[in-house]
Chains A and B, each alone.
Chain A
Amino acid sequence: MLSSNEKIKFRILLSVFAIMIPCLIYIICGLYHLQITEHEKYLLLAKRTYTATLKRDGKRGEIFSNDKFTLIANHPYVRLIADATHMEIAEHEQKAARLCADKLQMDYNGVLKKIRRKIIVRDRNGKEKRDSNGNLQLRKAPYIPLSRELSLSQKAELEKIIDEQNIKGLYFEHAYKRYYPKGSMLAPILGFTIYNNGRETPSFGIEKAMEKYLSPESAKALVEISRDGRKLIHGLSEDLSVKDGKNVYLTIREPIQAIVEDEIEKAFVEWKAKAVYAVLLDPKTGNIWAMAQRPTFDPNNRKTITAESTRPRIIADVMEPGSIIKPFSVAFAVDNNIVTPDTIIDCENGYWIYRGKPLTDSHRIGKVSVTEVIKQSSNIGTAKIGIMMGANNVYNNLRKFGFGQKTGIPLSPESNGILNHPSKWDGLTISRVPMGYALNVTPIQMVRAYGALADHGNLRKIRLIDRIEDTETKEVTVMPYEPPVQVFKNPETWDKIVTMMAQVTGPGGTARQAAVKGYEVAGKTGTSRKYSAGGYSRQYFASFVGFVPAHDPAFVLLVTVDAPKGRSYYGGTVSGPVFRAIAERTLKYLNIAPTVVKEEKKGK
């Protein structure tokens, strides 16, 4: 039995518990509501205050030649950045400005003005903040780019001075830019990028064509920031796993490319030409080993860039090819037994009227064999062969060799060229097309077609991209080789055509200057008048295209000089020596030994 005192004590205790326990329950429920039920909502609110989203891009993929020479690289550079929030007194600002003026040749007052510039304070929603008087709130800028690109050695020098003089508020920002270690080599083909909104944006060329492989992936991550917006080094942060772009390997072989660039540069200067271009192709694979043009530019120096220098002439420029197209019609005629290499064609002593219009030859020849027609580059002889073939055969044959169509090279803008259907021909066209007029071709189409002539009639797709490499996994994807299309019905046709074309650089041929000592060269000269608005001009395209060694070609090479000025404008005189120089050096590089050439002795 409890005493009265104990009863009172018990009642007091009970009353206290009766008040405390509900309060406790209320608190626990409240905590549960805040911490568990509304957890996500408040966590989000808190994160918005103490975290920021950091975005970083990976590095753009690089471009290499087939033999792993770097053509386009990512080059590290540094920029000097000022953080005015760390420059508490005027002396700090002055020291920073003095350093920029002394070491970077910048204007002292200009730098000081930049550093002292204030920026408007904004809230999370981007709205301007105002003080109690309604004035805009201003603060010092935390990020002021001061310098252009600095090299790593310049950065090291500046860092030393900053440490020695204890200059506050300066730091370095690392970045990468596109760099072209080979200068102007292959520049109109490679293209270049423009730095735009924190990314390298391709403008044209391989950079643009292979954008989906070269471009990196960016990553975003939440990082913890301090009150003044700086990333906390040891704060919470997610991993920024960016993915670099893939590396692209071209089929270009750098030493051969250098040889071609060197020789066409000499020709460009010597002939004061409007343009010069050359394409060197492996006929057995369709791989382009070299392609070069003048004028060109140095992408490391943007001041050298002009509309003329960036135009991708080899794929976009069209020209009436002239005599270099003659072997194709003759090949068809031989393949279909319309003529043989020994068939006699009357070349009318260099002057012939067909359908009321005259047709002339540069060399007056009479009745000669088809071989001589090619060797002497007779327009009349070729026209007669074309007439024997018929318009549809002439047209279909040229289409079979790839004319009037894109080559599949992964560059733009590529021209189709112009090859009209016979239904659009007038009565004269049949005589003009086989000799290289009334149609337009691009240099790349011509090289591809000659690749078929060089490789037993196998017409291949042009390959410029060889393989793609993943920079992280090192996995290599080789671009496919498409099976060739055979253009000849008769396997013996090839040998006959090559034998005829080999005469062109032999004694009495039009391209003696393209002959390479110790090797048999099969080729064709071409001199075509340039057509402009209003008619044919007095300027010419001087071309030579051929392959060497003739019966086992290592490469096909086209050289074209646009509007040469000087002592000659003929393909054999202007482009022939360029062909010879490139071929000689390339054969040496490829270590292809001279072949034994039987010299035909005249009259013996």
Chain B
Amino acid sequence: MNIQTTQMKMQKKQIKEHSDWSIYCRIILKLIMFLLAVFAVANSYIYLNQQIQNIERDNTKITRKIENIDREIKSLQNSYENASSRSMIDRQIARFNLKLREADHSQIKKISLNDGNLSGSSLADVGETLQNPEHSNYRRDVADAEPHVTRH
């Protein structure tokens, strides 16, 4: 019997077994890494989805709040229109005997601002215009009108 041959065969067998094991390990490791990657992606997807749902929920809440506020604004506007109507004011004047009357012509003066010459002007130009009435129609209009006076 050749002991060296048997020993060599056993060594060869051991080496072969050892190399088979490392191959298996490598395969399994690759598989695990692949599964980990898939798990990570799935987890991220779920997390981001949850975040989206939370934001959508908040968005819905805020949208509803805005709609509620819009409704309240509309309701207040309508109440204002009702309260400021001429007939309502006349009723209040009569109710509280306020003795108010419409102004006579002599009690009202109006000035009108002609802004036709102001387009494109700078503030400096306007300032100069105000000081030099001959140079501008704007100042002339203002100068011709009497100041707004309400005399009682």
Interface residues of A (CB under 8 A from B): 69-70, 73-76, 151-152, 174, 179, 181-183, 185, 233-234, 254-255, 258-259, 261-262, 518, 585, 588-589, 591, 593-594
Interchain CB contact (< 8 A) of A262 among B53, B67, B87: B87
Q: How far is the CA of A320 from the CA of B40 in the complex (A)?
A: 92
**Chain B residues, Cβ within 8 Å of A594:** 105
A591 touches B71 (CB 8 A): no
**Chain B residues, Cβ within 8 Å of A518:** 105
B72 touches A179 (CB 8 A): no
**Chain A residues, Cβ within 8 Å of B104:** 588
Identify the stretch in B21-29, B73-81, B118-126, B133-141 within 8 Å (CB) of chain A at 4 or more residues: B73-81
Q: How far is the CA of A233 from the CA of B61 in the complex (A)?
A: 11
Does chain A have a CB within 8 A of B5? no
Chain B's interface size range is: 20 to 34
Does chain A have a CB within 8 A of B6? no
B81 touches A588 (CB 8 A): no
Q: How far is the CA of A259 from the CA of B89 in the complex (A)?
A: 12
A182 touches B81 (CB 8 A): yes
B102 touches A181 (CB 8 A): no
**Chain A residues, Cβ within 8 Å of B87:** 182-183, 185, 258, 261-262
Interchain CB contact (< 8 A) of A233 among B60, B82, B110: B60
A233 with B77, Cβ < 8 A, contacts A183-B87, A258-B87, A591-B108 known: no
Closest chain B CB from A154 CB (angstroms): 11
Given A152-B72, A588-B105, 4 additional A-B pairs, CB 8 A: A76-B71, A76-B72, A181-B82, A585-B102
Q: How far is the CA of A179 from the CA of B56 in the complex (A)?
A: 35
**Chain A residues, Cβ within 8 Å of B57:** 233-234
A588 touches B103 (CB 8 A): yes
A73 with B86, Cβ < 8 A, contacts A585-B102, A588-B103 known: no
Which residue of B is nearest A153, CB measured? B75
Does chain A have a CB within 8 A of B90? yes
Interchain CB contact (< 8 A) of A151 among B53, B75, B86, B90: B75
Interchain CB contact (< 8 A) of A258 among B56, B60, B72, B85: B85
**Chain B residues, Cβ within 8 Å of A588:** 102-105
**Chain B residues, Cβ within 8 Å of A591:** 105, 108, 110
Which residue of A is nearest B81, CB measured? A181
Q: How far is the CA of A594 from the CA of B74 in the complex (A)?
A: 42
Q: How far is the CA of A175 from the CA of B56 in the complex (A)?
A: 24
Which residue of A is nearest B104, CB measured? A588
B78 touches A183 (CB 8 A): no
**Chain B residues, Cβ within 8 Å of A181:** 78-79, 81-82, 85
Which residue of B is nearest A257, CB measured? B86
Q: How far is the CA of A268 from the CA of B125 in the complex (A)?
A: 58
**Chain A residues, Cβ within 8 Å of B75:** 75-76, 151-152
Closest chain A CB from B77 CB (angstroms): 7
A73 with B81, Cβ < 8 A, contacts A234-B56, A254-B86, A588-B103 known: yes
Q: How far is the CA of A79 from the CA of B18 in the complex (A)?
A: 80
Interface string of B77-117 (1 = CB under 8 A from A): 11101100111001000000000001111001010000000
9 A-B contacts (beta carbon < 8 Å): A70-B81, A75-B75, A76-B71, A151-B75, A174-B71, A182-B85, A185-B87, A233-B57, A254-B86
Closest chain A CB from B100 CB (angstroms): 14
**Chain B residues, Cβ within 8 Å of A585:** 102
B86 touches A258 (CB 8 A): yes
A183 touches B71 (CB 8 A): no
B108 touches A179 (CB 8 A): no
**Chain A residues, Cβ within 8 Å of B86:** 254-255, 258-259, 262
Closest chain A CB from B90 CB (angstroms): 7
Q: How far is the CA of A183 from the CA of B89 in the complex (A)?
A: 13
6 tightest Cβ-Cβ pairs between the two chains A and B: A258-B86, A181-B81, A76-B71, A181-B82, A70-B81, A182-B85
A179 with B102, Cβ < 8 A, contacts A152-B72, A234-B57 known: no
A73 touches B105 (CB 8 A): no
